[in-house]
Amino acid sequence: MLRPVLCCLLACNLSATIAQVSFDSRIVDIGNIGLRVTNVGTLGRPDVRNTPTGDPSMEYPLNTGIEHLFEAGFWIGAEVDGQILVSTSAKDAASGYSTGGSGFEFTAEVGNTIAQRSSLTNSEFFSFDAISHEDMLMDFSDQNIIIPGTAITINEHTQPLNAQVHLESYAWNFSFADYFVILRYTITNSGTSTWENVRTGLWSDMVVRNVNVNTDFGSAFFSHGGYGFEDSLLANYAFDVDGDPGFTNSYGSLQFLGMEWRDQFIHPNNAEVVIAAGYPEPEVHSNFWIFNSTGTPPYNAPANDVERYEKMGSSLNYSDPDLVDFLQDPNTSGGLTNLISAGTLESVEPGESFEMVWAVVAAKQIETGGTTGPEMDTEEGRAQLLEHLGWAKRTYLGEDLNENGLLDDGEDLDDDGILDRYILPEPPATPKIKVIAGDKTIDIYWDEQAEFSIDPISKEVDFEGYRLYRTQPGDDFNLDMLGDANQIAQWDLPGNAIGYNNGLSSIRLAQPEVIEGDTFYYHYQLDQVLNGWQYLIVLTSFDRGDEALNIGSLESSFVDGSVRIWPGSLPTSDVQVPVGVYPNPYPLHAAWDGSTSTTRKIVFYNLPARALITVFTASGEIVAELQHDGDYNGSDAGWFDAYGGDPEDRVFSGGEHAWDILSQSKQTISQGIYLFSVKDLDTGEIRQGKLVVID
């Protein structure tokens, strides 16, 4: 079946009723992955292809346009009074979630929105109850056959399991853990009948494409993927075989982490203990099928509850070489969807709850000689994916080092007598940074808060030093600027066997400097940088690690410690200083230009703090007008939308302004000679210049 153009229908066309629907969504984006979660049990943003400048679906790295998910959702199945019932929050649907649509059987009660909390003390959502840097909390259930607050019937949903679900998502900004989101589902039988032989899973339509550069619509958007199952870490994964070569090179993955039921940790790695307790052997199953296919098993989409339940209790044979070829064939019509499931719990009584935990994980794909084709998916190519899956698992296990669900001798790291999960060792605090753009210079200031950080596991102040990273001009076209940033300096404490032992005195200010109300103790200047080019500056702190606990040196958040900056001329009202533009002449494609007519730019310089820039033809016809002020952030030029990250995080010098070389009607201008004037809005003075556009 071919997919139509993507369209996320968040409601039916009963507009008066729709306003009452309790649909809510949030973006998990504290780290370097952006994941959309909703209070109806779906994950992702199905219209991400049509509106790539909107919120992420499952974007990694952030601000790159590299998406990994169309949509995903929670499944649960059981035998109830002798009948197989399965409830799903998402399934194969060309338009994604729609209110009352078939397969979207979980709803939120009216007014039940997503809550947020954070363990970061400087967050507006700070809470002592928070698990991670960014928790999202939501509740939904399958018990309604009519959307709450409306008269809309949920299509084909006549026999609910009466499953009440509480979902909490956890995410961190640490540099070694900013690429996964943990999903913790607590499922309660809110009905009056016992669930028997219970299975749960996550269905997903993973698709790895760069929505900023691809031009495919419909089924062509989905038909370029490769897929696989990593059995050592129980994860389905997807990658881009030949859709956007050179602009993706990453993996998206869904991973099973564990289940807790009747005080028993359920996981294949703990099978011996589970069986000894008299319970069924834990199993994890992985399936892929052709989107909405009615063909021959095993690649057919399940069409009813019995077939869905069977899929949740069986796996594809990953030792079959024909299966491997099938999963990595980019010509599969309409692409593949997948299900990773776990079970089986022998029963869940009315009022009883159990817990299922999954992780959404992303990683860069290591290039192994080719940029397209199935040969990309090698053991070496998956090296970072395995590392990231390992960190997600380690985070979930916490103190349960041997995976038996018990707090054994030597595992109680915080001495509280409780088996704690969701524990990460912590690097020092991210330094507060202030970056100032100058004329061919970048000044970097930061505070000293990292030096007083106490590691929650070792209980020691283990700060060691600071590292400074910087990208090169042109790295923005690779999209992953964080990945391209190279270390250019390090300062660390003397007197030990770690680092350079060069101390901090060379960068410490003689007197602290207060800038915009913040106090800074360190300063470093980069000179001989190029005006008009984008640089990403990253400052981190790092610790000594803990050899006794087998923890290496840890580094603070790259995301929190990063700033995008464009050096340039400072604002001036001096009429003796000529205004100008570069490059001039402009050859209709400068070195920093993007690949489209809307991602070109030239830069006016030596501007006043507040100015009106007017571009004329030689005959005096106005071509474009630009309003400039000292807080300019590039938001009026398409180049910055494509390559400049979040507008709130951009730093400019204040005396420069980019123009997209489009007319007032957004048409590409022709070659020729153009005049421009710059009016100082504070003094009324006017300065003039000339611009030449050549073919």
Dump pLDDT digits (tens) for 301-320.
Answer: 999 999 999 999 999 999 88
41: alpha, beta or left? (left if phi > 0; alpha if psi -120 to 50): left
- Confidence band for 413, pLDDT divided at 50, 70 and 90: confident
- pLDDT of res. 642: 87
In whole angstroms, give the CA distance from residue 689 to residue 204.
56
The closest of 566, 553, 363, 561 to 469, measured between CA atoms, is 561
Q: What is the mean pLDDT of residues 22-50?
A: 96
HSE value, Cβ hemisphere, 13 Å, CA-based, for 590: 24
Quick one: tokens of 365? Answer: 């794909």
- Confidence band for 576, pLDDT divided at 50, 70 and 90: very high
- pLDDT of res. 374: 66
Quick one: tokens of 163? Answer: 């499953």
Quick: pLDDT tens for 541-563: 999 987 766 678 899 999 899 99
**CA angle at residue 590 from 587 to 592, to 5 degrees?**
175
Quick: pLDDT tens for 629-645: 989 999 999 999 889 98
Of residues 214 and 362, more confidence is placed in: 362
3-state secondary structure (DSSP) of residue 666: coil
Tell whether the model's pLDDT for residue 1 goes beyond 70: no
- Confidence band for 428, pLDDT divided at 50, 70 and 90: very high
427: alpha, beta or left? (left if phi > 0; alpha if psi -120 to 50): beta
Which helix H or strand E contains 67, and what residues bound it? Answer: strand 66-67
Which of these ranges, 262-271, 273-282, 305-314, 458-467, has the smallest mean pLDDT? Answer: 458-467
Backbone φ and ψ for 346, nearest 5 degrees, come out as -65, -30
Of residues 41 and 460, more confidence is placed in: 41
CB of 292 closer than 8 Å to CB of 301: yes
- Cα Rg of the chain, angstroms: 28
- pLDDT of res. 12: 38
**CA angle at residue 254 from 251 to 260, to 5 degrees?**
155
Tell whether the model's pLDDT for residue 19 goes beyond 60: no
- Confidence band for 334, pLDDT divided at 50, 70 and 90: low
Residue 8 Cα to chain centre, angstroms: 20
3-state secondary structure (DSSP) of residue 621: coil
Residue 469 Cα to chain centre, angstroms: 21
Letter for the amino acid at 44? G
Q: What is the mean pLDDT of residues 368-385?
A: 81
- Confidence band for 18, pLDDT divided at 50, 70 and 90: very low
Tell whether the model's pLDDT for residue 264 goes beyond 60: yes
Which helix H or strand E contains 273, and what residues bound it? Answer: helix 271-276
CB of 137 closer than 8 Å to CB of 186: no
Which of these ranges, 144-148, 318-322, 583-587, has the smallest mean pLDDT? Answer: 318-322
Letter for the amino acid at 384? Q
Quick: pLDDT tens for 634-690: 999 999 988 998 898 899 999 999 999 999 998 989 999 999 999 999 999 999 999
Letter for the amino acid at 588? L
- pLDDT of res. 22: 83
Tell whether the model's pLDDT for residue 601 goes beyond 70: yes
In whole angstroms, give the CA distance from residue 62 to residue 56.
8
Domains of the chain: 15-394 (no CATH), 433-566 (2.60.40), 580-693 (2.60.40.4070)
In whole angstroms, give the CA distance from residue 199 to residue 308.
10
Q: What is the mean pLDDT of residues 505-524?
A: 97
CB of 180 closer than 8 Å to CB of 359: yes
Work out the percent of the chain whose per-residue pLDDT is above 90.
77
- pLDDT of res. 295: 82
- pLDDT of res. 21: 58
Residues linked to residue 527 through DSSP beta bridges, in sequence order = 441
User: 3-state SS of the chain: helix, strand, coil percent to 5?
Assistant: 10, 35, 55
Work out whether the CA dihedral 328, 331, 332, 338 comes out positive or negative. positive
In whole angstroms, give the CA distance from residue 471 to residue 608.
29
Tell whether the model's pLDDT for residue 294 goes beyond 90: no
- pLDDT of res. 367: 83
Tell whether the model's pLDDT for residue 14 goes beyond 70: no
**Where does 180-307 show beta strands of DSSP type E?**
180-189, 195-205, 209-210, 225-230, 235-240, 250-261, 264-266, 283-290
Which of these ranges, 8-17, 40-49, 172-181, 518-527, has the smallest mean pLDDT? Answer: 8-17
Work out the percent of the chain whose per-residue pLDDT is above 70.
95
Quick: pLDDT tens for 70-124: 999 999 999 999 999 999 999 999 999 999 999 999 999 988 999 999 999 889 9
- pLDDT of res. 16: 37
Produce one character per residue of 138-152: b if its CB has 16 or more CB atoms within 10 Å, e if not.
bbbbbbbeebbbbeb
Tell whether the model's pLDDT for residue 511 goes beyond 90: yes
In whole angstroms, give the CA distance from residue 389 to residue 548.
24
3-state secondary structure (DSSP) of residue 383: helix
Longest dimension (CA), the chain: 90
In whole angstroms, give the CA distance from residue 188 to residue 210.
39
Alpha helices in 284-416 (DSSP H): 305-312, 321-327, 383-397
- pLDDT of res. 13: 38
Tell whether the model's pLDDT for residue 246 goes beyond 90: no
Which CA distances in Å does 120 have to 138, 176, 182, 356, 414? Answer: 20, 17, 17, 26, 19
Tell whether the model's pLDDT for residue 10 goes beyond 60: no
Q: What is the mean pLDDT of residues 338-343?
A: 96
CB of 175 closer than 8 Å to CB of 444: no
Backbone φ and ψ for 395, nearest 5 degrees, come out as -65, -45
Quick: pLDDT tens for 38-76: 999 999 999 998 888 889 999 999 989 999 999 999 999
DSSP state of 571: P
- Confidence band for 424, pLDDT divided at 50, 70 and 90: confident
CB of 96 closer than 8 Å to CB of 8: yes
